[in-house]
Amino acid sequence: MARKKDKNQVEQAPVRKKESEADKIRKMDVTTIENSIAELKKELFNLRFQAAVGKLENTAQISKTKKQIARMKTILTERANALKQ
């Protein structure tokens, strides 16, 4: 967003960078991430069960949960590889 200051000068509004999901996970410690993965796996099981029974209304939630688990595992792998080097 630009604000007009004068006829020829434009002042830029401060831009706030939105924190990504990966950045939020990187701030967590290893045990918290592992606990979150276990919790998300239980949730994924329940979502799959609901989908099989026909009770699941938001089918996109399954893929969102899978991606969240994958993000967390990726960050754990990054940390493990960083320790090896």
Give yes or no for a contact between 51 and 62, defined as CB atoms under 8 angstroms apart: yes
Structural domain total, the chain: 1
Asked if residue 1 belongs to a domain, the reply is no
Tens digits of residue pLDDT in 29-84: 999 999 999 999 999 999 999 999 999 999 999 999 999 999 999 999 999 999 98
Q: Report the CATH number at residue 23.
A: 1.10.287.310
Cβ neighbours for 11, distance < 8 A, ≥ 6 positions apart: 2, 3, 4, 5
Asked if residue 38 belongs to a domain, the reply is yes
Interior angle at CA 47, CA 45 and CA 52, nearest 5: 95
Domain that holds residue 39: 19-84
Confidence bin at 85 (pLDDT 50/70/90):
confident
Asked if residue 49 belongs to a domain, the reply is yes
Give yes or no for a contact between 26 and 79, defined as CB atoms under 8 angstroms apart: no
Phi and psi for 17 in degrees, rounded to 5? -85, 130
Asked whether the predicted pLDDT for residue 3 surpasses 60, the reply is no
Q: Average of pLDDT values for 13-29?
A: 86
Per the structure block, which two tokens stand in for 15? 């831009």
Considering the entire predicted model, what is its pTM? Answer: 0.77
